[in-house]
A and B are shown apart, each in its own frame.
Chain A
Amino acid sequence: MIGLDYNTLVVAGASALLGTAGGLAGTLMLLRKRALMGDALGHATLPGIAVAYLASLALGGSGKEVWALMLGAGAGGLAGVVGVAAIRRIARVSEDTAMAIVLGSFFGLGAALLTVIQASPQGNQAGLSTFVTGHAASMVRSDLDLAMAVALVCILVVLALSKELRLLCFDEPFAKAIGRSTKCLDALVLLVVTGVVIAGLQAVGLILILALLVIPAATARLLTDRFGAMLVIAAALGAASGIGGTIASSLGPSLPTGPCIVVVAAAIFAAALLVAPRNGLIARAAGGRL
């Protein structure tokens, strides 16, 4: 049955922390109406990872230094975010077009580099492609530490700046009028999201990381009408999905952990969509507010 060995504990702990961080960061992105930015950011990490690998080889490394790959992923993701902002401003296109442009071209570049790397003799064992769809089972202690650090940063940022973040998401002009730098706040939020994406590469991969950023936050929105409560609930649901997904994946012989976490999160969302006290479909149908 459920093997509570050391490895499973590491995976469950890292997933729970990742879910917490994703819930917090995702709530901010959802309320800022930028839910899909996490997707562009996630896909943009791939060329960063590939370049970091090639750079490591060129500098005499093994290409397996995880910190270097994570650094590359972060640089790629941030380049993607800056790219979206630059394309929006210069080409005057809508944000979703800018995101699709960055997502498609960055991921394409990453895929091209990856095929080259995998063709090389050392590349086959590099296992870079696990970052695309994730491979939670191979998580080790250092992944747990990274997830813990990211979750801690998320919690600290949200605690320290809750009133600024609430203001930024609700009424940006008012925040500016009382002298808050909304640019700095936005940059901070995007940095935090980048941290979550990096921490999630190993567990769920760069495609499904969006789920951890969106689903717990959207579920929390159904369950509460308060900003603070939404953060707490999203963090809790993220953690619950992480643990639940890990347990679920240990029930079958070959159930991948990352997708299981997403499916558990989605199941909680579906349940909330039906039975949430005020915003659920049943409650609204009963009140004639459908």
Chain B
Amino acid sequence: MREHSKSSPLGIHALTVAYHRKPVLWDIDLDIPAGSIVGIIGPNGAGKSTLLKACLGLVPAASGRVTVFGKPYETQRALVGYVPQRESVDWDFPVSVFDVVMMGTYGRLGWLRRAGSAERERAHAALESVGISEYAHRQIGQLSGGQQQRVFLARALAQEARLYLMDEPFASVDAATEQAIVGVLRKMRGEGRTALVVHHDLESASAYFDWVVLLNTRVIAAGPTHEVMTHAHLRETYGGRLTLLDEAGERLQGAQRG
């Protein structure tokens, strides 16, 4: 049995997601090192977002388990922050930027309790650190795409988590936002926090990430960026899938569906 480090912010143990819809993930086994910025890189349909969602319990896992600092995720939710894809919500929704960022403090507040001045301060600090304080009282639909992405980032910061799971935060944002996000990520790392970032731009990956997971329905390689981003690994990640495994996976799903 492979040893899993107890201190790892995120331990993924033999996680398989075989699910009514594709993509499936085969037996993912990872230990994310603490205090690092980790990129998950792979082609479209490789299951990058599904991996994050399975870690958060948003899609069911067929087998395997997820630990956060050595304990089951369900007991450690307060230590995990989440940045979903920007398209996952309706930006016409009647809330202000500040309201959305405040949502990051709800996890620790629990049911029924109201947010107080401590929570408001946290939200303001989070807005400040992504550089959109001046828009705090705008309705979220009035922001540009990049600014909306920063709102989600600020909400995650307000969670004051130790581990962050981010789904494509760099997708179609302006250069200023990209730099703001990178700045935030580096600051987090300086504070010993860990970020797991779904990304699909190979060019910038080497510059942003300390560690990289190459994913295409299975883990091709995982480790320090300069070791992992080799030509051979990338070709394996992007060049063709294991059609035999895909086919077997489809048959398995077909059999389950009946």
Q: A and B touching (C-beta < 8 Å)?
A: yes
Residues of A within 8 A of B (CB): 31, 33, 160-161, 163-164, 166-167, 169-171, 173-174, 176-180, 221, 224-227, 229-230
**Cα(A180)–Cα(B80), bound, Å:** 14
Contact of B96 among A33, A164, A225, A230 (CB under 8 A): A225
Q: Nearest 8 A-B pairs (CB), nearest first? A: A178-B107, A225-B139, A179-B77, A177-B82, A177-B56, A171-B89, A170-B93, A225-B94
Contact of B84 among A166, A167, A174 (CB under 8 A): A174
The reply to whether the CB of B106 lies closer than 8 angstroms to some CB of chain A is: yes
**Cα(A33)–Cα(B155), bound, Å:** 24
Contacts of B139 in A (CB 8 A): 225-226
Tell me the residues in window 62-116 of chain B with beta carbons closer than 8 Å to chain A beta carbons.
74, 77, 80, 82, 84, 88-90, 93-96, 99-100, 102-103, 106-107, 109, 111-112, 114-115
Known: A163-B106, A164-B111, A225-B139. A177 touches B58 (CB 8 A): yes
Contacts of B103 in A (CB 8 A): 163, 166-167, 170-171, 174
Contacts of B102 in A (CB 8 A): 163
The reply to whether the CB of B57 lies closer than 8 angstroms to some CB of chain A is: yes
Q: Are A221 and B106 closer than 8 Å at their CB atoms?
A: no
Contacts of B82 in A (CB 8 A): 174, 177-178
Contacts of A166 in B (CB 8 A): 95, 99, 103
Q: What is the interface residue range for chain B against chain A?
A: 20 to 34
**Cα(A170)–Cα(B114), bound, Å:** 18
**Cα(A227)–Cα(B93), bound, Å:** 8
Tell me the smallest distance from the CB of A93 to a CB of chain B, in Å.
Answer: 16
Q: Are A226 and B99 closer than 8 Å at their CB atoms?
A: yes
Contacts of A226 in B (CB 8 A): 94-96, 99, 139
Tell me the smallest distance from the CB of A28 to a CB of chain B, in Å.
Answer: 12
Tell me the smallest distance from the CB of A180 to a CB of chain B, in Å.
Answer: 8
Contacts of B84 in A (CB 8 A): 171, 173-174
Main secondary structure of the interface of A (DSSP, over half): helix
Q: Are B95 and A161 closer than 8 Å at their CB atoms?
A: no
Contacts of A225 in B (CB 8 A): 94-96, 139, 141
Contact of B93 among A169, A173, A176 (CB under 8 A): A169
Tell me the smallest distance from the CB of B13 to a CB of chain A, in Å.
Answer: 20
Contacts of A33 in B (CB 8 A): 90
Known: A174-B82, A221-B94, A230-B94. A167 touches B106 (CB 8 A): yes
Tell me the smallest distance from the CB of A72 to a CB of chain B, in Å.
Answer: 33
Q: Are A224 and B94 closer than 8 Å at their CB atoms?
A: yes
**Cα(A39)–Cα(B118), bound, Å:** 43
Which B residue's beta carbon lies closest to that of A33? B90
Known: A161-B111, A163-B106, A179-B107. A170 touches B100 (CB 8 A): yes
Tell me the smallest distance from the CB of B80 to a CB of chain A, in Å.
Answer: 8
**Cα(A80)–Cα(B115), bound, Å:** 37
**Cα(A26)–Cα(B160), bound, Å:** 34
Tell me the smallest distance from the CB of A225 to a CB of chain B, in Å.
Answer: 4
Contacts of B53 in A (CB 8 A): 173
**Cα(A49)–Cα(B149), bound, Å:** 50
Q: Are A176 and B57 closer than 8 Å at their CB atoms?
A: yes
**Cα(A174)–Cα(B90), bound, Å:** 13
Tell me the smallest distance from the CB of B123 to a CB of chain A, in Å.
Answer: 12
Contacts of A160 in B (CB 8 A): 112
**Cα(A156)–Cα(B114), bound, Å:** 14
**Cα(A122)–Cα(B47), bound, Å:** 65
Tell me the smallest distance from the CB of B93 to a CB of chain A, in Å.
Answer: 5
Contacts of A224 in B (CB 8 A): 94
Which A residue's beta carbon lies closest to that of B52? A177
Which A residue's beta carbon lies closest to that of B75? A179
Query: What sequence of 0s and 1s flags, for each residue 137-167 of chain B, a beta carbon within 8 Å of any chain A beta carbon?
Result: 0010100000000000001000100000000
Which A residue's beta carbon lies closest to that of B167? A173
Max count, chain B CB within 10 A of own CB: residue among A33, A174, A221 = A174
Contacts of B112 in A (CB 8 A): 160-161
Contact of A227 among B89, B95, B159 (CB under 8 A): B95
**Cα(A177)–Cα(B100), bound, Å:** 15
Q: Are B88 and A173 closer than 8 Å at their CB atoms?
A: yes
Which B residue's beta carbon lies closest to that of A225? B139
**Cα(A161)–Cα(B56), bound, Å:** 23
Tell me the smallest distance from the CB of A95 to a CB of chain B, in Å.
Answer: 16
**Cα(A31)–Cα(B102), bound, Å:** 19
**Cα(A217)–Cα(B96), bound, Å:** 18
Contacts of A177 in B (CB 8 A): 56-58, 77, 80, 82
Contacts of A170 in B (CB 8 A): 89-90, 93, 95, 100, 103
Max count, chain B CB within 10 A of own CB: residue among A170, A177, A180, A230 = A177
Contacts of A227 in B (CB 8 A): 93-95, 99
Contacts of B57 in A (CB 8 A): 176-177
